[in-house]
Structure 1
Amino acid sequence: MAQSLPSLINESARFTAVHAALVSDDQTSVTWLVSGAILMVQQACVLALSEAGADMPAMPGPNELVVRVADPAILPQPYTAPMKPDDHRALERVVAARNDVMHPRPGGLHLEADMLPDGVLTAVKLVRHLLLTQPVRPSMVEASDAAAVSHSLELIESSVDFWKTVLKAR
């Protein structure tokens, strides 16, 4: 089965939006939310870097990809991702949570859900910038995929805003 990277990003964004909506009612969706958010970030970074002709290691991790898209020496302006130190730290917490999900431990899984919303919102901001706001090549994402990804990102933001409200109330 062949599927384009923009189409895969669309699917990852949709998957993440579904689980973002479920988190406030079903904490088990946190594991899928962090997994989907990081996958969508990795896919968006790879697409932007490949469109820019940047060299990539064979198996780059999500943090390495994010550092690369935020480096103007690798992804030139105006395409460079606008990542501040707080954005990197917030996203690193989501990556760490995703790693805990993907690499189980004998004692099980314990995620600090209240530490994750800012990182998920950073993931949304990053994907939006790389695919929709300042794509390396405007035609790298079909209009239908761009519209669908945009809608999914809006749903994620709305759900995380609600989730943050629920977490504060507890």
Structure 2
Amino acid sequence: MEALEKLVAKYTKVQLVRAKVTEVSGDVCTAMVSDESKTFFKVGLNAVLTNAESKKLSYPKVGSWVILAVIDGNTTANIISFSEVDKTYFKTGTTVSEVDAEGHRIERENETLREALNDLIDEINKIKVIYGNTINVPEMLNIKTRINKILK
């Protein structure tokens, strides 16, 4: 591994650039260099843009600062550091996790954790106990509301 790092360092020049995010679209963004001398279009949020089966993306907030890595004076760049993150997305196989200011969405095979927990609470609320204490439906609905605030 060390030999590979030395070889890459010898033949590859990496420039780090501070830039402000002006637009986010899909899995790329547009960022303008801090001195406004250059704008980078289609800045990669991930090292591989075409891998749809398994990926982790962090989406920067528009107007936030990022550090870009530009290889060999190329016109393309990738984000390597964020000042602010708007959303984080993770997918592996059929499992998706997405976190933003509205909450956390966990999905597997087109079913979300929120939907499954809501269905569970709805079914528990249908339980009728003949002897003893029955289900506290108002409290179960309160728990459902709390879950819905966390999950989206």
**TM > 0.5 fold call:** no
Q: Which has the larger radius of gyration?
A: 2
More helix by share: 1
Higher relative contact order (CA 8 A, sep 6+): 1
- Shorter-chain TM-score range: under 0.3
More strand by share: 2
